[in-house]
Amino acid sequence: MLTGKIAMITGATAGIGLATAKFFAERGATLLLTGRNSGAGEALAAELGAQFLGVDIVNPGAPARLMAWAEQAHGRLDILVNNAGILFQGDSQTCTDEQWDQTLAVNVTAVFRLSRAAVPLMVRHGGGAIINVSSDWGLVAAHEAVAYGTSKGAIVQLTRSMAADHARQKIRVNAVCPGDTDTAMLRSEASGEARLREMAEAIPLGRLGQPRDVAAAIAFLASEDASFITGAMLPVDGGNSAV
């Protein structure tokens, strides 16, 4: 399904990013993986036959460096998966300026800069696909997550805007919107197994999402099976946003 495609995945060493890297590799993609955990990244690259570059995507120079890496390594980039993200709990009274600024820097500004840098490279080689990892909290409000929810809502609008702007250049831009997914990030925010079971029971399908559930949706949007889909927000949330 992705054979012959050159794909870059940010935040590739854990959670949804890790699952996506493995899912893409199973389907024949050639992978460029990035993240801040160089040890885990190098090990994953060796396992998958991929390449890894340790980069902090918040650094303003990171997008140009990553695109130069892709062009030097493979001459093009077909797929960009903007997965890296952070979460702080807190409402408007408890969210600090530092948490707000850091959330927007990682979850929005870095995604914009990397997507902006990818467009010329994709255009030179006939187009491509950008898939942003938003959240169901970008579609509906959540308690105690004001910075995160705002950032993921911004990704929804960034996705729509870039889809409209670059469709005639054969660049498709879509987003997945995961719900509660069983990752280290979720477990660090939940207070034990009992809370995780409560969260699962509240989901219409009756379970937490698995990282591979989201990876499968990302792979679909990246593939030619989704060739007439752009500007879409695909909830992968077990029905949460429907109710």
How close are the terminal C-alpha atoms of the chain, in Å? 33
Contacts of 78 (CB under 8 A, 6+ apart): 5, 6, 7, 122, 125, 128, 129
Which string of DSSP letters, residue by residue, matches 199-228? HHHHSTTSS-B-HHHHHHHHHHHHSGGGTT
Beta strands in the chain (DSSP E): 6-9, 30-35, 51-54, 79-82, 128-133, 171-178, 233-236
Catalytic-role residue among 24, 52, 88, 148: 148
Is 210 a catalytic site residue?
no
Task: State the Cα–Cα distance between residues 34 and 52, nearest whole angstrom.
Answer: 6
Nearest to 82 by CA among 101, 66, 97: 66
User: Could you tell me which of 220, 235, 170, 240 has the C-alpha nearest to residue 27?
Assistant: 220
How far CA 199 is from CA of 34, 139, 179, in Å, comes to 31, 18, 10
Catalytic residues: 148
